[in-house]
Amino acid sequence: MSTTPKSAGQHSAGAFDIRNIIGIVIGTYGVILLAMGAFFSSPEQLEKSGGLHANLIAGFVMVVVAAVFFTWSHLRPIEVPVTPAPKEQATTE
């Protein structure tokens, strides 16, 4: 949680924080690349990349970047101000 006290008129963005959305997208692609590099790589693909497991390395880096985004959004949440609903004007006839 955040170390700064929250005022009464604010709450955190939570799951709708853009850093969480970016982390989900990057993490999903990272897991897919990890699976492709670990389970579906062939010697021909390894030869094309010069003996480097490119999918495996790229997938690992993407998963790490996604973890950084999630950690960042958890440690420094965005505070969204709560605006009160407009009051209905009472009409007297």
Q: What is the pLDDT of residues 57-67, one digit of tens each?
A: 999 999 999 99
The range of the structural domain enclosing residue 65 comes to: 15-78
Q: What is the rounded CA–CA span in Å between residue 62 and residue 48? A: 22
Q: Quick check: is 28 in a domain? A: yes
Residue 14 has pLDDT above 90, yes or no: no
Q: Quick check: is 64 in a domain? A: yes
Q: For residue 83, how far is the Cα from the chain centroid?
A: 26
Domain count along the chain: 1
Residue 33 is predicted with a pLDDT of 96
Q: Write b or e for each residue in 43-61: b if 16 or more Cβ atoms lie within 10 A of its Cβ, otherwise e.
A: eeeeeeeeeeebbbebbee
Q: Quick check: is 7 in a domain? A: no
Residue 26 has pLDDT above 80, yes or no: yes
pTM across the whole model = 0.70
